[in-house]
Amino acid sequence: MDPASLTLCVLAVAAFFFATELIPLAVTAMGAAVALGLLGVLSPKEVFSGLSNSTVVLFAGMFVIGAAMFRTGLAQTIGVAVVRKAGAGEQRLMAALMLITIVLSSVSSNTATVACLMPVVVQICAAARIPVSPQLMALAVAANVGGTITMIGTPPNILMSATLEASGLQPFGFFEFAWIGIPLSLVGMAYMLTIGRRLCPRHMANASLDTGDSAAPHDKKKMAICAVILILVVFAMMFSKQIHIPMQVSAIIGALACVLTGCLTERQAYEGIDWVTIFLFAGMLPLAGAMDKTGAGKLIADFVVGIIGSDPSPFVIVIAMFILSCGLTQFMSNTAAAALLAPIGISIAQSIGVSPYPVIMAIGIAASCAFTTPVATPPNTLVLGAGGFRFMDYVKVGVPLVIVSLIVCTVVIPLIWSF
């Protein structure tokens, strides 16, 4: 069997295990890379090249800084202040809640953001006697769209940039995602404040729910230090080209500063790193490289182009890849979905002679449009019990939002990243 066929076989097996999660995601990713090495498709050095990739360092650094935000109470304090200031009016509360969630999710873990704000929301809804379900659904939606604003907001964004760089192309800039992330976030807010909240069930809050550490006292000095570190790191990343400091270096300096200043301990820093994402990413990069090296990506690209016509419109390609990425992410890890499709998207774009940037951006953004199932993303799962949701509640709210998101992406992406 030729290397391209072997690579496609490994890809198919990986896709099956990603979708079913019969074995852990990170094991699937690393297993795919090792399998390609054992089959002779990749050299031993290429098999583990993902672990030495600079983007892995960026991931790790930002995970630690994000953990410091929650360990010091900075994220909780910001969230509680904004939500309580909004008052108990249903729409005002939802608007404030979504706004602060979008901001926090753009620079830290969306899962941690939901975890710290959810008890506060439940508490406020119970006291004000307003339905909690629409607020919690809005919280999950805001966490998902907020991550699309910056490169570090969600793993698929970093992965898209890394895939471009691995293919010899200029990666996306730190805030380049904001061109589509901000419009998508605004549309998500408008949707939930009008149509979405009406499609949600209207269960009342269970006042006996544990409010966790939301009211626990925090060290204000450490919160201030953490805030300064975060601001400096974000600015350093924004102007990385001007100051000649790579983003991963800024992230690690920030992470070290968090530990050295006592914002979190060394053990807490290790615990704050999402090792599943690290190894998932490290395993998928060699697979992406193998698809390019063996021509497997081109085979898939030729097959897709053959289905949609010999001279497909670039808009059709963007729509098709958005639908495919968004469809996959409803039932599997958004990072895994993006990792599978990114090299294929580049191959398809190159095969029809158009820029890969709009295609790759569509894949990455679609992977974050995980609105239609409770298992699509951790924030969706977190609000399931407290909101009293059923599976179909996510479908009712999520499907129209996915359609709206597709329209926004189809209009905005080609305007910013031309074909």
- pLDDT tens for 141-151 read 999 999 899 88
Is residue 406 a contact partner of residue 318, using CB atoms and an 8 Å limit?
Answer: no
What's the average model confidence in pLDDT over 64-69? 82
Least confident span in 56-60, 225-229, 314-318, 385-389: 56-60
What are the structure tokens assigned to 372, written together? 């239609």
**207-218 pLDDT per residue, tens:** 544 454 444 457
Residue 372 has a pLDDT of 86
- Assign 3-state DSSP to the chain and report helix, strand, coil percentages, each to 5: 75, 0, 25
**SS3 state at 352:** coil
Counting every residue written for the chain, the total comes to: 419
Residue 387, pLDDT above cutoff 50: yes
What's the pLDDT score for residue 190? 96
Question: Which of 91, 261, 262 is CA-nearest to residue 193?
Answer: 91
| End-to-end Cα spacing for the chain | 36
pLDDT at residue 298 is higher than 80:
no
Alpha helices in 211-352 (DSSP H): 220-238, 240-243, 247-260, 266-272, 275-294, 296-308, 314-329, 334-351
Q: What is the pTM of this model?
A: 0.70
pLDDT surpasses 90 at 183: yes
Residue 28 in this model has a pLDDT that exceeds 60: yes
Return the pLDDT at 83: 67
Nearest Cα to Cα of residue 386 among 193, 146, 118 = 118
Q: What confidence score (pLDDT) does residue 310 get?
A: 63
Contact present, 191 and 400 (Cβ < 8 Å): yes
Report percent pLDDT > 90 for the chain: 26
Query: Across the strands, what pairs with 131?
Result: 204
pLDDT for 208 equals 47
Task: pLDDT band for 87, please (50, 70, 90 cuts).
Answer: low
Highest mean pLDDT among 12-16, 57-61, 251-255: 251-255
- C-beta of residue 11 within 8 angstroms of C-beta of residue 39: no
Rounded to an integer, the average pLDDT of 340-357 is 85
88: Cβ–Cβ under 8 A, 6 or more apart, which residues? 124, 127, 128, 130
- Compare 417 and 155 and report the one with higher pLDDT: 417
Sign for the pseudo-dihedral over CA of 90, 95, 98, 103:
negative
Contacts of residue 361, defined as CB under 8 A and 6 or more positions apart, other chains included, come to: 160, 172, 177, 180, 413, 417
Rounded to whole angstroms, how far apart are CA atoms 386 and 132?
Answer: 8
Please give the pLDDT value at position 210: 44
Question: Between 73 and 187, whose confidence is greater?
Answer: 187
Q: Which 8-state DSSP code applies to residue 151?
A: T
Task: Among 236-250, 299-313, 331-345, name the one with the lowest average pLDDT.
Answer: 299-313
For residue 211, what pLDDT is reported? 58
